[in-house]
Amino acid sequence: MTDKPKDLKTISEFFEKDPETADKTFFGRETHSDRRGFLKGAGLATMGAMIGSAIPFHRNMPAGFIPAAFAGENVLVGKDGLTLLNDRPVNAETPPHLLDDLITPTSRHFIRNNGIAPEEVDADNWTLTIDGLVDNPMTLTIADLKEKFEVHTMALTIECGGNGRAAFDPPAKGNQWTLGAVACSEWTGVKLKDVLAAAGPKSNAIYTAHVGDDAHLSGNPDKLPISRGMPIEKAMSDNVMIVFAQNGEAIHPNNGAPLRLVVPGWPGSLSHKWLKRIYLRDIVHDGPKMTGKAYRVPQHPVAAGEKVPKDDFVFIERMPVKSLITSPKTEATSGKSLAVRGHAWSGDRLIKTVDISIDFGKTWQTAKLDAPVNDGAWQNWSADVTFPVSGYYEVWARATDDGDDAQPFAIAWNPKGYLNNTMHRISVRVS
């Protein structure tokens, strides 16, 4: 697969510039050199499901063909308005104004892949193995999970550890996420702690290890693209779930169908997709993306661009306090009054206040803040602001959590570009 063009901004541009790669990436279909097109079963099924019917003459579809039913930018199957950051693996974020819903629709949930998603998924025969340091190793189908354990539905926030990396100066390597690698969908499944309890963790088990069904970018079947884990205490939290439904329907293929973990409040890399195995270990897990500097930050503040010894890095656990303005969209025009709203979240903590400033932080007004719908969900906030005269303004949002941590104005720089939780700002012109 070829690299994404440097100037690529939207998914439609990807189809225009490299139609055959786009076909394979988004529809799971291969195309012949004569461009008659040939859809694999999985790709055809996905496209047909989105359109709502079979496609009788699908073999005549040329490479790069986008059905008219896929209006506008909606060519990433089942997604709406996302900005493509990378095509190998697929990574796409959601502009802040499209995250305005209290619960994030599946069509607007960001995508963070580390490997190549499985092309053909059979949910009926999918299995999850729980083994390692347990007394009762188990292999469970999704039907087994539904029958043997209590099923729950919870709104849970997932945020990529690198969300906000694009603002780092000097730049940090990795996907250049701006603000949209975060979402709070409703997830249906079973609690991980219930499944682990049934497996019977041994007394020396201290860490989980997760394995998915995505393929390594190299194509080597013996290599995993990612295998993260967490302390057993976190795994036994009340809101860490093994899920099989997203917003009341099947999980989107690029969000991990048919089975995934959701670990709210900690880096999204722990919320393993296409989940096939969880095993317990007596050491801190050392799988891919668990060693070196992956998902780690310096244990002390460093200057921008500073070289940090490897031994000075520590794991990211809880994500920091953060807020997002989802309405209005930046570069808004307004009269002298404006309704502003958004979301706020902070790892395993609650948000205590969200404050808004229109005078570059000199004064602040407190926004109306809702409680989370459940533990692990973001909190919604709103405020009405009044501008004294016409002109250019910035609306700033600053969240403070119940541990008294507040969002900073400046980035706390680190070499890998993680945990940017600076205040969100939008521009408004008042006439």
d(CA 358, CA 172): 30
Q: Which residues contact 219 (CB under 8 A, 6 or more apart)?
A: none
Confidence of residue 88 (pLDDT cuts 50, 70, 90): confident
Q: What is residue 4's predicted lDDT score, i.e. its pLDDT?
A: 44
Second-level CATH architecture of 123-315: Alpha-Beta Complex (3.90)
pTM for the full model?
A: 0.85
Residue 221, both tokens: 């079947």
Could you tell me the sign of the dihedral formed by the alpha carbons of 157, 332, 72, 12, in that order? negative
Residue 74 near residue 106 (C-beta atoms within 8 A)? no
The Cβ-side half-sphere exposure at 113, using a 13 Å CA radius, reads 28
Please report, rounded to a whole number, the percentage of residues in the chain having pLDDT higher than 70.
83
Amino acid in position 186: E
pLDDT in tens, 367-379: 999 999 999 999 9
Amino acid in position 196: L
Residue 423 near residue 397 (C-beta atoms within 8 A)? yes
Q: What is residue 79's predicted lDDT score, i.e. its pLDDT?
A: 85
CA angle 365, 424, 265 (to 5 degrees): 100
Q: Which of 79-88, 160-169, 269-278 has the lowest mean pLDDT?
A: 79-88
Name 152's bridge partners: 189
Amino acid in position 203: S
Backbone angle region of 203, left / alpha / beta, with phi > 0 → left and psi within -120 to 50 → alpha: alpha
**Average pLDDT of span 55-61:** 71
pLDDT in tens, 15-36: 556 666 666 555 544 443 333 2
pLDDT in tens, 128-150: 999 999 999 999 999 999 999 99
Q: Domain 322-430 adopts which CATH fold?
A: Immunoglobulin-like (2.60.40)
Burial 256-271 (b: 16+ CB within 10 A, else e): bbbbbbbbbbbbbbbb
Q: Do domains 123-315 and 322-430 have the same CATH topology?
A: no
pLDDT in tens, 154-196: 999 999 999 999 999 999 999 999 999 999 999 999 999 999 9
Domain-by-domain residue ranges, the chain? 1-77, 123-315, 322-430
